Structure 1
Amino acid sequence: MAIKSHIVPPLSSPIRLQEYGVGIFMSVPTKSALKKVIKKKYVEVDDVIATTATYIRGGETITLAIPNEISSSKKLVFPLQVLYEDEHLAILHKPAGILVSGNGFKTIAHALPQNLQPSALTDVTKPQPVHRLDYTTTGVLLTGKTGSAIRKLNQLFQDKKVQKVYYAVTIGEMPPHGKIDTLIDGKPSESPFEVIQSVPSEKYGFLNLVKLDPKTGRRHQLRKHLASIGNPILGDQMYGKEGLILTGKGLYLHAYSLDFTHPFTEEQIYIMDNLPERFTKIFGTL
């Protein structure tokens, strides 16, 4: 049995264990993994078995005891382009055709340790993405390299303090700007958009380069919102119009930039990832 412990530093306010505990143990780097070990009763707080309702207030000792822990030496060799990196976090380019995380072997999460420098900080953990991009989406992806960084970056996203800009290529004539705020899965969602350029297309009528500044982060939000106004994203196999679905070229959706205040250095971080060549082939160099 592998037993590891963590002493909680002073906290400004109580926080649920399943939020605080993400990344404090290297073998439990994600929220879903933490929930699993809590439900299996592998986690104790001050010698009391924890639950998903347990709150942390500061000063507690959190113990993780996993029986017969097996570590895999199998590594995913998948080179990634790193756009920014320091001891706390890293921002990289996510290519199309790979999941950010999940149960499969080929994921960005599994490739991170081979692409990033280990942090020298005391709470170093396995690097972990802190937001999602779809399998077919390209662009900037933010990851944490320490337990405290993962928690603080997750909080930035929850507090809507990370500004994200996407670009998409859409089909059909559309207004020059607007805001789509239809509910997604019954939840409020908001996607302001601006058409940067339009070109005529024999097959599609018009192809538009659209800048998007989503204020919420629902699953498939931009794809669903654009399809809802009759302008689906080029190459969208799921939400595209029948007879107008481009195949074999991928989804024309790109996470272009991230803008946020570094949670430790308080430096303003702005990182952009240039538009893919398939975008510039349609619209030229912008």
Structure 2
Amino acid sequence: MERIELIVKENKRIDAIIASELADVSRSYVQKIIEDGCVYVNDKEVTSKKLKLKVDDVIVINMPEPEKLEVLAEDIPIDIVYEDDDLMIINKPVGMVVHPAPGNYTGTLVNALMFHSEKLSSINGVIRPGIVHRIDKDTSGLLMIAKTDQAHQSLADQLKEHSITRKYVAIVHGCISSETGTVKAPIGRSPKDRLKMAVNERNGKEATTHFRVIKRFKNYTYIECQLETGRTHQIRVHMAYIGHPLLGDPVYGVKKPKIKHEGQLLHAKTLGFVHPSTGEEVLFDSEVPEIFETMFKKIKGVEGGPHAI
């Protein structure tokens, strides 16, 4: 156990002080070690993460030993669309987390990949072997998996250059009148809620989403979205920003929807890129999950009248 001593330099909350002084520690982790009785101020155990300190107060932290992370291979079925010596294309189901994270070390796509293949890229470390990009737990669809570091770097470079084709389909609230559109608005952490992303003009990163209407209903629209950039929750944030949040979205969606669904109706349908070894352009497409058709029928039932307009 490491003992860390800090002298307070300004009047602030204790969790904010520690998080700012220890660059590799998150504020949520600081709050956890406070709750675990690992932090003292002026020789007294701290019991509240909201404790306000004064200049020259002395903080002592008994930093716990880091957990040894071990990700185990698990015999979990995965839908492999394509595989060669360099990469795999996986069709991820709804409900599967892509890689392990604190409190969630089993049942992920990475656990399944480790069972399936002894060869995965190491660039993203032991927690994310082979993972080049991610999609949310409740988003289904196509993912690139790198089996070698060379392939991983090539695919990552293409993502950075915005040259990879990524098309999604989604059901959103509201009837979009225009046939196509583009949302160009920077995305970053929400200043009001650090657990959410938001359009953030001051601290956000450039983000562009193109969309086109596939089918209109009276109060909903079935759309295709093409990503030019790949920010966290990009489609979900951008569509909510223009007043058309995704049906079922628990974070950015409608609070009291007429049609309820657990998880956003979003599917990564199409994926295209230059193959790292052959240099050829490849394009993969996937079937839209049956839940979309089920939701179309529910919409028809709620709205009445024609199936679509």
Partner of 2:81: 83
Partner of 2:134: 132
The 1-side partners of 2:296 and 2:283 are apart by 25
Task: Please give the secondary structure, in 1, of the residue aligned with 2:89.
Answer: strand
Q: Is the 8 A contact 1:234 1:245 kept in 2?
A: no
Task: Please give the secondary structure, in 2, of the residue aligned with 1:165.
Answer: strand
Pair 1:192-2:210 in alignment: yes
Q: Alpha-carbon deviation of 1:72?
A: 5.3
**Alpha-carbon spacing, 1:245–1:74, altered in 2? closer, same or farther (3 Å):** farther
Partner of 1:174: 176
**Richer in strand (by share):** 1
Q: Is the 8 A contact 1:236 1:246 kept in 2?
A: no
Query: TM-score, normalised on structure 1?
Result: 0.66
Partner of 2:44: none
Aligned residues: 209
Q: 1:62-141 residue pairs with structure 2 within 5 A? A: 74-103=72-101, 104-105=104-105, 106-116=107-117, 118=119, 127-141=129-143
Q: Alpha-carbon deviation of 1:246?
A: 4.8
C-alpha RMSD over aligned residues:
2.7
**Alpha-carbon spacing, 1:157–1:223, altered in 2? closer, same or farther (3 Å):** same
The 2-side partners of 1:245 and 1:76 are apart by 39
Cα-to-partner distance string for 1:70-119 (whole Å, 9 max, x where unaligned): 89584322110000000000001111112112323232122102234748
**Alpha-carbon spacing, 1:156–1:171, altered in 2? closer, same or farther (3 Å):** same
Q: Alpha-carbon deviation of 1:270?
A: 0.6
The 2-side partners of 1:275 and 1:101 are apart by 23
Identity %: 31
Task: Please give the secondary structure, in 1, of the residue aligned with 2:248.
Answer: coil
Q: Is the 8 A contact 2:72 2:114 kept in 1?
A: no
Which amino acid in structure 2 is aligned with residue 114 of structure 1?
Answer: F
Pair 1:234-2:247 in alignment: yes
Q: After alignment, is 96-105 or 153-162 more displaced?
A: 96-105
Partner of 1:53: none
Task: Please give the secondary structure, in 1, of the residue aligned with 2:293.
Answer: helix
The 2-side partners of 1:273 and 1:116 are apart by 22
The 2-side partners of 1:99 and 1:136 are apart by 8
Which amino acid in structure 2 is aligned with residue 268 of structure 1?
Answer: E
The 2-side partners of 1:145 and 1:225 are apart by 32
The 1-side partners of 2:156 and 2:109 are apart by 17
Q: Is the 8 A contact 2:208 2:227 kept in 1?
A: yes
Q: Is the 8 A contact 2:97 2:136 kept in 1?
A: yes
The 2-side partners of 1:134 and 1:267 are apart by 29
Cα-to-partner distance string for 1:154-173 (whole Å, 9 max, x where unaligned): 11111112110000001112
Q: Alpha-carbon deviation of 1:199?
A: 2.1
Query: TM-score, normalised on structure 2?
Result: 0.62
The 2-side partners of 1:129 and 1:263 are apart by 15
The 2-side partners of 1:84 and 1:74 are apart by 24
Task: Please give the secondary structure, in 2, of the residue aligned with 1:213.
Answer: strand
Unpaired runs of 5+ residues, structure 1, are 1-34, 36-69, 201-205
The 2-side partners of 1:100 and 1:71 are apart by 16
Partner of 2:235: 222
The 2-side partners of 1:133 and 1:88 are apart by 21
Which amino acid in structure 1 is aligned with residue 212 of structure 2?
Answer: E
Which amino acid in structure 1 is aligned with residue 280 of structure 2?
Answer: E
Q: 1:50-69 residue pairs with structure 2 within 5 A? A: none
**Alpha-carbon spacing, 1:172–1:73, altered in 2? closer, same or farther (3 Å):** closer
Q: Is the 8 A contact 2:176 2:216 kept in 1?
A: no
